[in-house]
Chains A and B, each alone.
Chain A
Amino acid sequence: MTRITFQRSGGFTGRTISLTLNLDDLPPDQASTLNGLLTNANFFNLPADSAKRPVPDEFTYTVTVETGQQSHTIRTSDTSAPESLRPLLDDLSLRARTQRA
């Protein structure tokens, strides 16, 4: 099993959004897409905190991925996120912000 916990904080609106996904519970094509994004980001080798000093109004992202074997948490931001990670952040942001509170 793979579980993704996501939080996006800060931003002009100051609104924190969060999401927990169990990939086993998702339709297979979506789970496959997310697994692909994690692989492309080389997620388990990303630094734990790549966010520089706070930049006014930018988003800060915290992502935790847990599998049966390992767990890793990273913190990053709009101006510091590696390019390879952005598609994953985009996907999770969109899911989190369109769910009803």
Chain B
Amino acid sequence: MSHRHSIFCIIPPHMLKEIAQRGSPVQRSLALRTIATSGQIRSQRTAWQAGIAVMAATASAGNKQRAIYDARQGSQLPGTLVRSEGDAPATDIAVNEAYDGAGVTFDLYYGVYGRNSIDNNGLKLNSTVHYQKSYDNAFWDGGQMVYGDGDEDLPPAQRLFNRFTISIDVIGHELTHGVTQYEANLNYSNQPGALNESFSDVFGSLVKQYQLQQTADQADWLIGQGLLTANVNGVGLRSMKAPGTAYNDPVLGRDPQPDSMSGYVTTTEDNGGVHINSGIPNRAFYTTAVEIGGFAWQKAGLIWYKTLSEKLNTNSNFQNAADLTFQTAGEIYGVGSLEQNAVAKGWQAVGITVNASGGIPTPQPQPQPGPGCLTAVLRIFGLAR
């Protein structure tokens, strides 16, 4: 984590130059350091923004290496290799969905965030389809993606789930568990676990939005749309826009996700409700993205990605995520920017107030009453009272 003083960002360069030229030795030294620091922040911000444009324009090359295996309804992983990078499409739709979905996920991470695969070092993307019989699930086993066929081998009237490769956001979700493992490595229980789940839903949904080139207000913000059969009364497994409303069905029951902290569920099941309470940070991201507008992967996604890859740790909770996304937004887009305010609104919508000191480090000692940022810095230099 960096220890920049973002308070310095807003001092006009010409004023800092004046101080550097005319101030006392201490003042000059401080001013020179500030010029260097703020220049670094500006150039970093510019680099991120330019980088997005350049990488999006040049499309992705990167080291995209995919391999799809078939478990043939057994439980041995990875199974039999059925399609490698560059091979023509197979006749098996699950194989092709796993291949294509992994490709779009790679392209989002590489093309938008400059990340070279799950480990940022070109890790081969291995996926296994047809895992076990009637397996209504998908998971990341620490090294590869694994997909079941849902209920596609049951009589049609009994089927609840289609094959798990059918929704591209499920594929993005599983691959993102890999990214999280290599970055914040959030513990898979309670709030860190729910954050782990939420980051997978966020980037799973962004993979789908990226593929469809949808803006935040055009996207459905559903996880697992298309996964439920016509026998189920539901539109998907989770709704990031309106957690708790994805399904309500005699067999599946009701979508149990809370949409704010007031509904936080304490349970020992599901590793402490990691797939339940993830609705809270999911909606914070949705609200932030809609507040910013445009393509959600560009700004809201970048804020969340940098927070995941540079700030969070294994024990981070919801409040930490709120504070650190807010801080990151300030670093990328500026303190008090529309983007940073959108992050605060996103978390506020779910009942979490960001700790502003996470984004605006205060100088020591803090003058009373709180002066403007410029005044505070000038006081440090002894140029204001």
Complex contact B140–A57 (CB within 8 A):
yes
Complex contact B270–A12 (CB within 8 A):
no
In the bound complex, CA of A94 to CA of B237 (Å)? 20
B24 at the interface (CB under 8 A from A): no
A residues near B132, Cβ cutoff 8 Å: 78, 86, 90
CB distance from B385 to the nearest CB of A (A): 56
Complex contact B269–A54 (CB within 8 A):
no
Q: Which residue of B lies closest to A11 (CB)?
A: B137
Q: Which residue of A lies closest to B75 (CB)?
A: A86
B residues near A53, Cβ cutoff 8 Å: 188
Residues of B267-304 whose CB lies within 8 A of A: 269-271, 273-276
B34 at the interface (CB under 8 A from A): no
Residues of A near any B CB (own CB < 8 A): 9-16, 53-60, 78-79, 81, 83, 86, 90, 93-94, 97-101
Tell me whether chain A's interface is mostly helix, strand or loop, or mixed.
loop
Q: A12-B137, A14-B274 known; 8 other A-B pairs, CB under 8 Å?
A: A12-B224, A14-B275, A16-B270, A55-B142, A57-B138, A94-B134, A97-B160, A100-B250
A residues near B43, Cβ cutoff 8 Å: none
In the bound complex, CA of A10 to CA of B224 (Å)? 16
Q: With A54-B193, A55-B142, A90-B132 in contact, is A16–B269 under 8 Å at CB?
A: yes
In the bound complex, CA of A10 to CA of B137 (Å)? 10
Q: With A15-B253, A98-B158 in contact, is A57–B139 under 8 Å at CB?
A: yes
In the bound complex, CA of A61 to CA of B327 (Å)? 40
B141 at the interface (CB under 8 A from A): yes
Complex contact B160–A10 (CB within 8 A):
no
In the bound complex, CA of A59 to CA of B269 (Å)? 11
Residues of B183-197 whose CB lies within 8 A of A: 188-189, 193, 196-197
Q: With A9-B269, A14-B274, A101-B251 in contact, is A83–B141 under 8 Å at CB?
A: no
CB distance from A11 to the nearest CB of B (A): 4
In the bound complex, CA of A3 to CA of B62 (Å)? 56
Q: Which residue of B lies closest to A57 (CB)?
A: B139
Q: Map CB proximity to A onto B131-151 as digits: 1 under 8 Å, 0 otherwise.
A: 011101111111000000000
B residues near A15, Cβ cutoff 8 Å: 252-253
Residues of B109-164 whose CB lies within 8 A of A: 132-134, 136-142, 154, 158, 160, 164
B residues near A93, Cβ cutoff 8 Å: 134
B residues near A94, Cβ cutoff 8 Å: 134
Q: With A10-B275, A57-B177 in contact, is A101–B137 under 8 Å at CB?
A: no
Complex contact A100–B200 (CB within 8 A):
no
Which residue of the partner chain, among A12, A59, A90, A97, contacts B237 with CB atoms under 8 Å? A12
CB distance from B24 to the nearest CB of A (A): 57
Which residue of the partner chain, among B133, B249, B250, B275, contacts A12 with CB atoms under 8 Å? B275
Complex contact A12–B134 (CB within 8 A):
no
In the bound complex, CA of A57 to CA of B139 (Å)? 5
A residues near B224, Cβ cutoff 8 Å: 12-13
In the bound complex, CA of A60 to CA of B160 (Å)? 20
B residues near A14, Cβ cutoff 8 Å: 256, 270, 273-276
B residues near A99, Cβ cutoff 8 Å: 251
In the bound complex, CA of A53 to CA of B188 (Å)? 9
CB distance from A55 to the nearest CB of B (A): 6
Complex contact B137–A58 (CB within 8 A):
yes
